[in-house]
Structure 1
Amino acid sequence: MDAMLKANMLQIIVFALFVGGGIAVVGEKAKTVYNFFDGLAETCYAIVGMIMTIAPLGVFALIAPVVAANGPSVLLPLLKVIICVYLGCLLHAVVVYGSLLKFIGGYSPIKFFKNVLPAQLVAFSTCSSSATLPVSMECVQKMGVSKEISSFVLPLGATINMDGTALYQGVCALFVAQIYGIDLTSAQMMTIILTGTLASIGTAGVPGAGLIMLTMVLQSVGLPLEGVALVAGIDRVLDMPRTTVNITGDAVVAYLVGKSEGKKA
Structure 2
Amino acid sequence: MGDQQKAPVKKGILGWYFNFNLLYRILIGLVLGALLGIIFGQKILWVAPFGALFVRLLKMIMMPIILSTLVVGASSISPATLGKVGIRVILFYLLTSAFAVFVGLMMGTIFQPSAEMATLASEAAGKAAADIPLSQTLINIVPTSVAQAVVNETVLQVIFFAIIFGIGVSYLRISKDDRLQKAGEAIYMVFDGTAEVMMRMVTAIMQYAPIGVLALVAEVFAKQGANVAGSLAIVTLACFSGYIIHIVLVYGGLLKLNKLSIRRFFKDAKDPFITAFVTRSSGGTLPVTIKASANLGIPKDISSFSLPLGATINMDGTAIYQGVCAIFISLTVTGHSFTLGQMGIIIVTATLASIGTAGVPGAGAIMLLMVLEAVGLPVEAGTAVAGAYAMILGIDAILDMGRTALNVTGDLTCTTVVAKGMGQLDKEQWA
TM-score by length of 1: 0.93
Question: Who is 2:193 aligned against?
Answer: 39
Identity %: 47
Matched, 1:216 2:377: no
- 1:9-68 Cα deviation digits (max 9, x unpaired): 111111111111111112133111111112212211211111111211221232245446
Question: Who is 1:84 aligned against?
Answer: 238
After TM superposition, the structure 1 stretch with the greater mean CA deviation from structure 2, 203-212 or 114-123, is 203-212
1:115-194 matches, within 5 Å, as: 115-181=268-334, 183=336, 184-194=338-348
TM-aligned CA deviation for residue 235 of structure 1: 0.9
Cα-Cα RMSD: 1.8
Question: Who is 1:75 aligned against?
Answer: 229
Matched, 1:14 2:14: no
1:93-104 matches, within 5 Å, as: 93-104=247-258
Q: Secondary structure at the match of 2:193?
A: helix
TM-aligned CA deviation for residue 69 of structure 1: 6.7
Question: Who is 1:111 aligned against?
Answer: 264
Question: Who is 2:217 aligned against?
Answer: 63
Q: Give distance in 1, aligned partners of 2:365 and 2:214.
A: 17
Q: Give distance in 2, aligned partners of 1:135 and 1:8.
A: 38
Letter in 2 for 1:150: S
Which of the two has greater helix per residue?
1
Letter in 2 for 1:232: L
Work out whether residues 130 and 206 of structure 1, in 8 Å CA contact, stay in contact via their aligned partners in 2: no
Q: Give distance in 1, aligned partners of 2:255 and 2:244.
A: 16
Q: Secondary structure at the match of 1:180?
A: helix
Q: Give distance in 2, aligned partners of 1:72 and 1:93.
A: 35
TM-aligned CA deviation for residue 249 of structure 1: 0.8
Taking CA–CA contacts closer than 8 Å with sequence separation of 6 or more, which of the two structures ends up with the larger relative contact order? 2
Q: Give distance in 1, aligned partners of 2:237 and 2:304.
A: 34
Letter in 2 for 1:90: I
Question: Who is 1:49 aligned against?
Answer: 203
TM-aligned CA deviation for residue 90 of structure 1: 0.9
Matched, 1:2 2:148: yes
Question: Who is 1:237 aligned against?
Answer: 398
TM-aligned CA deviation for residue 97 of structure 1: 0.5
Question: Who is 1:255 aligned against?
Answer: 416
TM-score by length of 2: 0.58
Letter in 2 for 1:4: V
Consecutive unaligned residues of structure 2, counting only runs of 5 or more, are 1-146, 174-180, 380-385, 427-431
Q: Secondary structure at the match of 1:134?
A: helix
TM-aligned CA deviation for residue 185 of structure 1: 2.9
Q: Give distance in 2, aligned partners of 1:200 and 1:51.
A: 21
Work out whether residues 255 and 413 of structure 2, in 8 Å CA contact, stay in contact via their aligned partners in 1: yes
Consecutive unaligned residues of structure 1, counting only runs of 5 or more, are none
The count of aligned residue pairs is 264
